[in-house]
Amino acid sequence: MLQQAGQPKSGSAHVVVLGNEKGGSGKSTTALHVAVALMKAGQRVATIDLDSRQQSFTRYIENRRNWAQRTGIELEIPQHCCVALGNTMQIGDNEMSEFAQFSAAVSAVEKTFDFIVIDTPGTDSYLMRLAHSMADTLVTPINDSFLDFDVLGHVDQTTYSVIGESHYASMVKIARKQRRDLDGAATDWIVVRNRLSMIGSRNKQLIAEGLDQLSFRLGFRPVDGFAERVVYREFFPRGLTALDELDEATLGTRPNMAHVTAREEVTSLLRQLKLPIDERGRRRAATRAEWFAQIDRPLESHDLTA
């Protein structure tokens, strides 16, 4: 499911940041799918929600935990933290409070977990910029429209050729430079096209061409993400993902081809992210799967006397 691409820094979690200054692009949905995929690969995953007001990522994980408890189904749950919104009249005091929470959350897990997945708000803020400068992998989902494209770049009204970069792209450039200046590390930036139409269109082709042009200017990798499917909206109330068991007990309804196709496109996306999977984690996952496969079988007599 996930492609190995080198080992993470010794003793330090690999940080995956979901970022985009426009809401409704699928950041929280993508964040949970990434986290669950990593846990299914045996990785130790912590998650942080920096969207203190909306808290979609936090509610998604809470829904997952509640559904697992209600049904008795084993669902992977990450260790999660949501940074509380500062509520004083002083912006500086609020930023200090939120920074202290974020710093404590990262410090608590960075040495003992393999990955930290961070969901950021769809607005510019101090913590949002800080998270971007910490990212080892930055994932920017955008809806497949020029309205979302405008967060990254501007196009000529006649030719649709890219004529400049936008506010979010400029912020990411600064954040990546800060990261390089700090420790010499390069942030792998992936722009994910979400809500893709399942039929060809001129708009779809123009967006693809625009992203290819921008990718050379800004240094990101454009990849296809999730198609426009109802099943992704249905997952949220129960905290499910396309990677969970596709059966009636888990889904609460009979699975159909849309669920199978969603799993295939999620798996394809995760492969393209090229996250650095620890081989020890793969072995943990394989051992756990084998244990669960054996759990309903009676013990052999030699197991008791060996």
CATH of the domain at 182: 3.40.50.300
Q: Is residue 303 part of a domain?
A: no
Q: Is residue 241 part of a domain?
A: yes
Q: Which of 30, 34, 140, 18 is nearest to 78 (CA)?
A: 34
pLDDT tens, residue order, the chain (306 aa): 554 443 334 458 999 999 998 878 889 999 999 999 999 999 999 999 999 888 999 999 999 999 999 999 999 999 999 998 777 767 667 788 888 999 999 999 999 999 999 999 988 888 999 999 999 999 999 998 899 999 999 999 999 999 999 999 999 999 999 999 988 889 999 999 988 877 768 888 999 999 999 999 999 999 998 888 888 999 999 999 999 988 888 887 888 898 999 999 999 999 999 999 866 555 555 554 554 454 444 434 344 333
Q: Is residue 305 part of a domain?
A: no
The answer to whether 224 and 269 are in contact (CB under 8 A) is: yes
Positive or negative CA dihedral for 62, 64, 70, 73?
negative
Q: Is residue 141 part of a domain?
A: yes
Domains contained in the chain, number: 1
Q: Mapping DSSP to helix (H, G, I), strand (E, B) and coil, where does residue 90 land?
A: coil
Q: Is residue 271 part of a domain?
A: yes
H/E run at residue 266: helix 257-273
Q: Output the CA–CA distances (angstroms, integers) from residue 268 to 1, 204, 287, in the order listed.
A: 8, 19, 24
Angle between helices 126-134 and 167-183 (to 10 degrees): 50
Question: Given the DSSP bridges, would you call strands 115-119 and 14-18 parallel, antiparallel or unpaired?
Answer: parallel
Q: Is residue 287 part of a domain?
A: no
Q: Is residue 172 part of a domain?
A: yes
d(CA 203, CA 186): 32
Range of the domain at 255: 14-280
